[in-house]
Amino acid sequence: MSHGQVFIPYGGYWCTPFSKWQGSFATLEPIPFAAEIARRAIDERGIDGKVFDGICLGTTIPSRGSFYGAPWLAGLMGLDTITGPTISQACATSARCLAYGAEQLSTGAAQIFLAVAADRTSNGPHIYYPDPSGPGGTGKSENWVLDNFGRDPLARCAMVVTAENVARASEISRQEQEEVTLLRHQQYQRALGDDSAFLRRFMVTPVEVKSARGKVLASVSGDEGVFPTDAEKLSRLRPVVEGGSVTFGTQTHPADGNAGMILTSRERARELAQEPGIEIQLLAAGQGRVARAMMPQANVPAARQALDRAGLAVDELAAVTTHLPFAVGDVYLSRELGI
């Protein structure tokens, strides 16, 4: 759906640094960690938490206490009068949180909405599903992260195979994927310029990781897991799938962290903005579904749906940003949309 008058206060968003797999945040419980960061971000922006009348939590990987989800998050933040749903839609989770918040505002169900997303891919749960009818009553087990990354139960293949399928079907070369990866790396390096001035607009730092006794084990002031690279280094990497074109350099890596965003009306956004005169509006959202095992293609119908709902054409866009798990998806999107 299109969203009539949904705005984001300038500066009304934040995230932690993102920590690599089994990195500094590997032992932190995701929901309490997200509550701590969101409370800190709101306080730093001089916002009274009592203004919020709607909330949702996006989390893809179960963690201790996630049964209670958003209400627990709100309680940990001291927001004892609001409640809301917990949303999980794999890679689309955070986008669906924003779409849900916008719907709450558009229907009048909320006036100032808080969307928070939190996940920890490190140390994901190992789940046992009882099955009394199994041999000897033996149930089935699942490593939530690794098993699901490694096999989509409907497409019956690993996530990386969907990227290989799109690369093969659309004749997207390894060289094209590596060119996009290098572009991304250059963009990130620019974001680190001037003592990470761009990132510090929204990144909550430093984040102290403490032991149960309160001893500081680590102080994290920037992302972990973004490694220096160049064309030569990328070219030397082996494909993840034998005979394929996707390498560990042209896909994202599992990470731990959390983020938040405030959604509200134009008037309240102006009141809560960290700088006057800058407006951010959420116009529309879209979703896409494509043939099985072709996941990186789905961003195109989703983007077109959102553009149609917003009443915009591609050539009216001044800039496009994406968050796709494979460089294949960026190449496919740019080709199909002509950007």
Q: What is the pLDDT of residues 171-186, one digit of tens each?
A: 999 999 999 999 999 9
Cβ 103 vs Cβ 3: under 8 Å: yes
Cβ 76 vs Cβ 31: under 8 Å: yes
pLDDT digits (tens, 9 = 90+) for 138-191: 999 999 999 999 999 999 999 999 999 999 999 999 999 999 999 999 999 999
Q: Is the pLDDT of residue 72 over 70?
A: yes
Sign of CA dihedral 141, 144, 148, 150: negative
- pTM, rounded to two decimals: 0.95
- Mean pLDDT of the 237-256 span: 96
CA separation for the pair 148, 154 (Å, rounded): 11
pLDDT digits (tens, 9 = 90+) for 22-43: 999 999 999 999 999 999 999 9
The encoded tokens of residue 4 equal 């009539």
Q: Is 87 exposed, middle or buried (0-12, 13-18, 19+ CB in 10 A)?
A: buried
Chain centroid, CA 44 distance in Å:
23
